[in-house]
A and B are shown apart, each in its own frame.
Chain A
């Protein structure tokens, strides 16, 4: 039975989906992921779907489930790498994907997660006083 590998990257977990998820595989992924979040205390989950050609409502539900489960365990989920054709199809399909945050690629997803989870870092943001505004 195939298992989808989950990588630990710092405080985050990275899952790369490269095969078509059928029911049992998807449920296993949900379970494995949530256990890992719990075990490692991860603050964020990155799901890379850049190799996924078809996202139907079943897959959408899985993504939503993962986001919700992770949030309950205090971790944020970001889905990255959605293919353009998939995005266009999802909009037409009417899939709400509520609670799922997206980013263009793993790099942007990581920095998004970092900014979402490190706002207690104590870094002060500079406020610059402008003498003129371009408008």
Chain B
């Protein structure tokens, strides 16, 4: 059972919002004493997902939470946008698949870097991606 300890929210609508967002994620990761490699993985995954949001959906909202399950503390990030949505999720999760000019690593890469990954999307309605990185993950 996952318990939320803190909640924070940020909007990212232009590229200049990316760096402050990454720094905020780092702050929280440091707060729960996450090791450097896990921090790097978390922030890199967050960077991938936030760029996706900017490139495909003109930005969106990100919920940053410190969560805990049993003895573990972790960071949960929820990226919500009102963009065009993803029609074929399994296809989008394949390495190298991209509808833009990116490398197509964003979604599958973010999944590999996180401990838990969840994506919900409906064409025309938007997309919600949730990832969790445990401190000792």
> B-contacting residues of A (Cβ < 8 Å)?
20, 22-24, 53-58, 60-61, 83-86, 88-89, 92-95
If over half of A's interface residues share one DSSP class (helix, strand or loop), that class is named, otherwise mixed; here it is helix
Beta-carbon contact of A24 and B105 below 8 Å: no
A-B contact number at CB 8 A: 65
Beta-carbon contact of B47 and A54 below 8 Å: yes
Beta-carbon contact of B44 and A94 below 8 Å: no
Beta-carbon contact of B112 and A92 below 8 Å: yes
> What are the residues of chain A within 8 A of B19 when measuring CB–CB?
20, 22
CB A62 to nearest CB in B, in angstroms, measures: 11
CB B96 to nearest CB in A, in angstroms, measures: 9
Given contacts A53-B40, A85-B37, contact A94 B18 (CB under 8 A): no
User: Which bracket fits the contact residues of B?
Assistant: 20 to 34
Beta-carbon contact of B37 and A93 below 8 Å: no
Q: Name which residue of chain B comes closest to A59, CB basis.
A: B47
The answer to the question of B122 belonging to the interface, with a C-beta cut-off of 8 Å to chain A, is no
Beta-carbon contact of B16 and A89 below 8 Å: no
Beta-carbon contact of A92 and B102 below 8 Å: no
Q: Which of B16, B18, B39, B102 contacts A57 (CB 8 A)?
A: B102
Q: Which of A85, A86, A89, A95 contacts B105 (CB 8 A)?
A: A95
Given contacts A20-B22, A92-B112, contact A86 B40 (CB under 8 A): yes
CB B75 to nearest CB in A, in angstroms, measures: 15
The answer to the question of B2 belonging to the interface, with a C-beta cut-off of 8 Å to chain A, is no
Given contacts A24-B15, A94-B95, contact A54 B40 (CB under 8 A): yes
Q: Which of A55, A60, A85 contacts B36 (CB 8 A)?
A: A85
A-B contact pairs, 26 of them (CB 8 A): A54-B22, A54-B43, A54-B47, A56-B44, A56-B48, A56-B51, A57-B48, A57-B105, A57-B106, A57-B109, A58-B47, A61-B103, A83-B40, A85-B37, A85-B40, A88-B37, A88-B41, A89-B37, A89-B41, A89-B44, A92-B113, A93-B48, A93-B105, A94-B105, A94-B108, A95-B105
